[in-house]
Amino acid sequence: MSDLESFREQTRAWLEENCPQSMRWAPRKRGNPALADDLVWGGKKQTYPNADAKVWLERMAAKGWTAPTWPREYGGGGLDKAQAKILSQEMSAVRAKPPLIGFGLTMIGPLLVANGSEEQKLRFLPEICRGEIRWCQGYSEPGSGSDLASLQTRAVVDGDDYVLNGQKVWTSYADQSDWMFCLIRTDPDVPKHQGITFILLDMQSPGVSVQAIKLISGASPFCETFLDDVRVPRDQVVGAVNDGWTMAKALLGHERTMISDAFSESSERNQLVELARTYIGEDGDGKISDQVVRDKIAQLTMNKVCFDLTVGRTKEAAKIGQQPGPESSIFKYYATELNKDRHSMMVSVLGPQALGWEGEGFEQDELDVTRSWLRSRGNSIEGGTSEVQLNIIAKRVLGLPE
């Protein structure tokens, strides 16, 4: 038996023994929606309505499998790419839910592994792996969205600290986060892409205030963050001072890949078909009775399979050291459109039952579909607007003229 075969057997046995049954995905059924409470973001404000979610996190973190490829000395699993792929496959086989999600694992963590100081790695990465710290992103500002490099939040040196003043907006889950990774202007007298520094900010620092922004879905994942004379130690700069744009581009690649992954690997993979069978019905052969609906679902399915295969090829290339590049903008853009199309189709399948907001006459999962559809409209804005992604694709991928 090869080493990889042995690793697979051991992994499969461990997962079967240690993954609680309530932390395994079950087919979604009408009136029995998947519990968002089971998804753990971590951090000091994390609660556990399902106690098994905490048990699952602790067991996986103890093995380093919340971040399986990170070095062991930083709390990771120290697995190579082949072993990490086996772990992913075996978790899928037992339908295991992720023990931990969030920007720590998918965005700031990978950046620190590659670019952080040794002190920063030892300080932050183990806490991320154990789910003890939750992160948000401080990039966009009221006047600096698509043109991010025009940001105006300033940092002035005062002894061993920077003093920060300004405002960030669309800071997802800032009200639930312990730390923020942010871009701050440290030199206003150079071209706008220069003079920006990448800084780590404790959200409990005096002078930090957060206000939620309510969306049309009724949820408030986005926030405004205000910085008033906030003091940040200078050793919390990642990379070189005034070279934050380099860090920002690297992290945006991780973010856009994360967004495309999230839409691709959604737990709603089979929900559309199940909804169609429930609300439209089946013919005598067990097929969805409406041929037009069947055709539309088939087209969405083919588009998704093609997208997954394309993303998979890029992930294979990453195994030989290639970093996310401008092609990640293609993934983010297409994943956004695919996700929006899927949610629109689900609302269409529900018919009149998609018109509910609250009150009698509607199942909770019907209301969830409607609100998820409304939430999906923001996909084309977050993580870089679709228009910006198309510009990047045109200029950096296709090489089209200005």
Q: Among all residues, which ones are annotated catalytic?
A: 255
Classified as helix, coil or strand, 243 is strand
CA-nearest of 83, 28, 87, 97 to 265 is 97
HEC assignment per residue over 134-151? CEEEECCECCECCCHHHC
Q: Where are the beta strands (DSSP E) in 55-195?
A: 135-138, 154-158, 161-169, 179-185
Which DSSP state fits 247?
Answer: H
- Give every CB contact of residue 297 below 8 A, 6+ residues apart in sequence: 272, 273, 276, 288, 345
Instruction: Concatenate the DSSP letters of all residues of 18-73 into one string.
Output: HS-GGGB----BTTB---GGG----STT---SSHHHHHHHHHHHHHTTTSTTS-GG
Q: Are the C-beta atoms of 206 and 175 separated by less than 8 Å?
A: no
Total Cβ atoms within 10 A of residue 272: 21
Tell me the backbone φ, ψ of residue 78, rounded to 5 degrees: 65, 20
